[in-house]
Amino acid sequence: MSPNQNVIEVTARDFDREVIERSHQVPVLVDFWAEWCGPCQMQLPILLKLAQEYGGKFVLAKVNTDREQELAMQFGIRSIPTMKLFKDGRVVEEVMGAQGEAALRALIDPYIERESDQARAEALRKAEAGDIEGALDLLRMAAADDPDNPRVLQDYARLAIQAGALDEARHLLDQLPANVRAGDEFRGLEALLALAETAREAPPEEELQAHVSQHPDDLEAREKLAARLALRSAWREALDQYLEILKRDRNFHDGIGRRGMLMVFDLLGSEDPLVGEYRRRMANWLY
């Protein structure tokens, strides 16, 4: 094994400390391997080279599956080599089979802290303090200096949506690479932007509520009301409006009843109890 301090052997006894806990500081790439595995041995020099080159920006944790069968079973390892990348205590990427250097860099790089992340952190502190414009200025500069950092672009887009700069947000989301666009955070941002675009020219919520009460078949007003409700995190009320659209006309506005519910699901995340509840209610009407 390499003398590099950023390459470690991990066992079931120390996995939580060396992988789960450490991944809150830096990404940890766990390589499930075995001595008899030819592809594992072929890939090892590449992994060691990257661990040396990145200089502590990620940790390579080696798990010998012959010795650590319990860990292999726990993480569902069916073939080796299998690599799982941990960040903030959870698996964020997974790949099976021997990988080339370029593929491994593409796997790791989105999770490596960069100089622009420091500006990003300062921008988020400003945003939490209520200085949205100041935060946006910092993120604009960070994005100009490091346009390949998806974390900067996504935070920039989120704050641009919050500030009502929707065209700017759309431009930012369109710049993100395919692997980022496939992620949960991107889908949530897409949903947030779509809701903001719907609500941009909409009347105030109170006016929409009164109008829908008097004109329950005005599905366009319901759609705008649902967007306004979702934007202020009134999730159940927003889902009820989309469900009502679905009940009255499932094809209205290219199926916005169903699509709107899916957008809210993306914002809530799959673990939220509301998602399970309203998926069932939606399915009852669709099928």
Instruction: Provide mean pLDDT across the span 249-274.
Output: 95
Instruction: Provide mean pLDDT across the span 145-163.
Output: 93
**DSSP-derived 3-state class of residue 253:** coil
Q: Which fold has domain 115-182?
A: 1.25.40
> What is the widest separation between alpha-carbon atoms in the chain?
74
Query: Which residues form the catalytic set?
Result: 37, 40
Domain extents for the chain?
7-111, 115-182, 205-286
Instruction: Provide mean pLDDT across the span 104-114.
Output: 87
What one-character DSSP code corresponds to residue 203?
A: P
Q: Which fold has domain 7-111?
A: Glutaredoxin (3.40.30)
Q: What pLDDT does residue 178 have?
A: 84
Q: Is the pLDDT of residue 41 over 50?
A: yes
Task: Tell me how far apart the alpha carbons of residues 155 and 136 are, in angstroms, rounded to a whole number.
Answer: 9
pTM of the model: 0.73
Instruction: Provide mean pLDDT across the span 192-200.
Output: 96
Q: Tokens representing 34?
A: 């075995």
Q: Tell me the per-residue pLDDT of 214-256, one tens digit each, with 9 for 90 and over.
A: 999 999 999 999 999 999 999 999 999 999 999 999 999 999 9
Q: With pLDDT > 70 as the criterion, what percentage of the chain qualifies?
A: 99
Instruction: Provide mean pLDDT across the span 78-92.
Output: 93
Do the domains at 115-182 and 205-286 have one common CATH topology? yes
Q: What pLDDT does residue 186 have?
A: 92
- Dihedrals phi, psi of 127, to nearest 5 degrees: -65, -40
Instruction: Provide mean pLDDT across the span 47-51.
Output: 94
Task: Tell me how far apart the alpha carbons of residues 96 and 78 are, in angstroms, rounded to a whole number.
Answer: 9
Q: What pLDDT does residue 1 have?
A: 46
Instruction: Provide mean pLDDT across the span 66-90.
Output: 94
Instruction: Provide mean pLDDT across the span 70-76.
Output: 93
Task: Tell me how far apart the alpha carbons of residues 93 and 70 are, in angstroms, rounded to a whole number.
Answer: 21
For the chain, how big is the Rg over CA atoms in Å? 23
**CATH number corresponding to 205-286:** 1.25.40.10
Beta bridge partners of 8: 61
Task: Assign 3 a pLDDT band (cuts: 50, 70, 90).
Answer: low
Q: Tokens representing 52?
A: 């040396």
Instruction: Provide mean pLDDT across the span 121-133.
Output: 94
Average pLDDT along the chain:
93
Burial of 111 (0-12, 13-18, 19+ CB in 10 A): buried
Q: What pLDDT does residue 4 have?
A: 67
76: CB partners within 8 A, 6+ apart? none
Q: What pLDDT does residue 177 have?
A: 84
